[in-house]
Amino acid sequence: MQAREQGGGILVIDEIQKVPDWSETIKRLWDEDSAAGIPLQVLLLGSAQLLVQKGLTESLAGRFELTRATHWSLPEMTEAFGWDWQRFVFFGGYPGAATLVAEEDRWRRYVRDSLIETTLTRDILFLSQVNKPALLRRLFELGCAYSGQELSYTKLLGQLQDAGNTVTLAHYLDLFTAAGLLTGLQKYSADTARKRASTPKFQVFNNALISALAGHDYAVVRQDPERWGRQVESAVGAHLLNGATENGWQLHYWRDRSDEVDFVLAGQGRVAAVEVKSGRRATTTPGMRLFADRFKPNRMLLVGGDGIPIDEFLRTPPQSWL
């Protein structure tokens, strides 16, 4: 009634997924308000992504606009907690865990128990058809360990030591993607069928998942060039992935035999090729040159080394590079 008298209003409901049959209730109330001419705008907030998406698609089709709030970025973690880019690369962008980083064992337990386990149990196992929960958990652990690397489904089955099939693994990976945890990037190609048939390149949405499951301390990883290089590449990939998710773009990788490009960002009819170097290297690589000749990208970006400083890249919205 007040919204009608004032010519409009906004109703905000947080953690909407905790309301039983929330989507049916919202649909009924929305239809009643619309029929009564009440100009009310409703903002629904939810942290259980799969549950929210299920309610939207089943009951509210044609009645909503989806706005994705992705993981916290480096600028947000710097503003809130004073982090530099190195700390962000290792500890990721979970604000709830940020105050625990001085006690790394406690931080790891928080991420594993309060974030990972809660999402796997509440968002995935409770809401989706998962016939092999042990396989799903092992796939998640393996995917985080291999973030930034390609691993075929056939090799995955060998690593997992399970008699499952590639369709099952692809389904589980789709569930991780929907939950905002882990995805498998497809190889960039002008042929859509080839993209779908490509070997996936694992990529986490948040580097905290890697560090919490690996169990290595920050100081140890910083002193290990190989481990730190993988962390840096994964952080760049997560930054691009969250930007692509938020804006409805696509993130890929590219490889032709031994030539590769770490990431290919495509959106707004434009393409940017991104190569990540944690050490000092030449400003171009054979893979980048071959990709440029074949696909004519709008931008070619080298991150780290003699290219764009990692700090600057992680503080710049991905759309700026397109």
Of residues 40 and 206, which shows the higher confidence score? 206
Per mean pLDDT, which range of 12-16, 168-172, 305-309 is the poorest?
Answer: 12-16
Of residues 109 and 20, which shows the higher confidence score? 109
pLDDT over 80 (residue 1) = no
The answer to whether 180 touches 203, Cβ cutoff 8 Å, is no
- As to burial, measured by CB atoms within 10 angstroms (0-12 exposed, 13-18 middle, 19+ buried), residue 73 is buried
Q: Is 304 helix (H, G, I), strand (E, B) or coil?
A: coil
Specify the pairing of strand 182-187 against strand 250-256: parallel
Looking at the structure of the chain, the number of domains it has is: 2
pLDDT over 50 (residue 93) = yes
Beta-carbon count within 10 A of 1 CB: 7
Residues 54 and 200 in one domain: no
Residues 183 and 238 in one domain: yes
Distance CA 83, CA 91 (A): 10
pLDDT over 90 (residue 182) = yes
pLDDT, position 280: 45
pLDDT over 80 (residue 99) = yes
Residue 64 lies inside a defined structural domain of this protein: no
Residue 65 lies inside a defined structural domain of this protein: no
Residues 182 and 47 in one domain: no
Residue 68 lies inside a defined structural domain of this protein: no
Rounded to 10 degrees, the C-alpha dihedral 262/267/271/276 comes to: -20
Tell me the residue type at 140: F
pLDDT, position 283: 52
pLDDT over 90 (residue 64) = no
Residues 22 and 147 in one domain: no
Residues 45 and 125 in one domain: no
pLDDT, position 72: 95
Question: What string of DSSP letters covers 208-256?
Answer: HHHHHHH---HHHHHT-HHHHHHHHHHHHHHHHHHHHHHHT-EEEEEEE
pLDDT, position 25: 83
pLDDT over 90 (residue 279) = no
Residues 139 and 100 in one domain: yes
Mean pLDDT along residues 202-220: 97
Beta-carbon count within 10 A of 99 CB: 11
Mean pLDDT along residues 246-251: 90
What is this structure's pTM? 0.85
Joined tokens for residue 42: 């409703």
Residues 48 and 139 in one domain: no
What confidence tier does 37 reach under pLDDT thresholds 50, 70, 90? confident
Residue 191 lies inside a defined structural domain of this protein: yes
As a whole-number percent, the residues of the chain with pLDDT over 70 amount to 87
Residues 96 and 42 in one domain: no
Of residues 189 and 213, which shows the higher confidence score? 213
Residues 122 and 241 in one domain: yes
Per mean pLDDT, which range of 36-50, 168-182, 249-263 is the poorest?
Answer: 36-50
Give the domain-ending residue among 14, 32, 59.
59
Of residues 291 and 60, which shows the higher confidence score? 291
Residues 104 and 229 in one domain: yes
> Which sign does the torsion angle of CA 98, 104, 109, 115 carry?
positive
Residue 28 lies inside a defined structural domain of this protein: yes
Residue 46 lies inside a defined structural domain of this protein: yes
Domain span holding position 231:
74-321
